[in-house]
Amino acid sequence: MASDLLIHATGLAALVINVLALLCRCDLAMRRQSVVAGCLWTLNNMLIDATAAAALSAVSVSRTVTSAATLDRGRVARRNTCAFFTALTLAAGAITWNGWLSAVTLTASIISTWAMFYLRGATLRLVMLLVSGMWMVNAWQYDSWEQMVANLVTAGAAAYGAWQLGVRKAEAPGAV
């Protein structure tokens, strides 16, 4: 097993970047920061020997980069790209399958794939709240306190970000 210091450092760095990403008001900036956090989560999962989670995190990173690039593209481009990443996620999940835990992280990855391509603003952040709860199962199973704290804080940041965006929308001129 890798050095505890490296495991903790990657987990804490990913946590900070993840929280900052979810607090961004700009969806594009949120996605960009999520890519950096995702790379660190991939490394952290590899270091704790959570191979299925590491593989799904790696797919998630490339999916997030691509979703940022397709934000302003047409419906067909987003649909095809989302379908591609859903298939890639299913393949990564099948290759690294490790029982019921893999089913939870795989489902979380598919939900976040759909959300990254089709949702924006508060709704996107609320779905990330759900996904954080699902990834908590992986963190708990591998006894990774960094990931447990990260999922709790990320869920809180996602809820706060969604609330902030909802408040701003309600305060906007012409809002009902």
pLDDT of residue 68: 83
pTM of the shown model: 0.76
Tokens standing for residue 94:
């099948």
**Which of 35-39's residues contact partners 24+ apart within 8 Å by CB, and which partners?**
35/61, 35/64, 35/65, 35/68, 38/14, 38/64
C-beta separation of 34 from 21 below 8 A: yes
Express each pLDDT in 28-87 by its tens digit.
888 889 899 999 999 999 999 988 889 888 998 998 889 888 888 888 999 999 999 999
Q: What share of the chain is helix, strand, coil (3-state, %, to 5)?
A: 85, 0, 15
173 or 126, which is more confident: 126
More confident: 170 or 94: 94
> CA–CA separation, 54 vs 56, rounded Å?
6
Region 93-99: mean pLDDT is 88
DSSP 128-172: HHHHHHHHHHHHHHTT-HHHHHHHHHHHHHHHHHHHHHHHHHHHS
Residue 165 has a pLDDT of: 82
Residue 132 is predicted with a pLDDT of: 86
Secondary structure (3-state) at 175: coil
pLDDT digits (tens, 9 = 90+) for 115-155: 989 988 888 888 988 998 898 998 898 888 878 888 888 88
Instruction: Look at residue 37 in the predicted model and tell me its pLDDT.
Output: 93
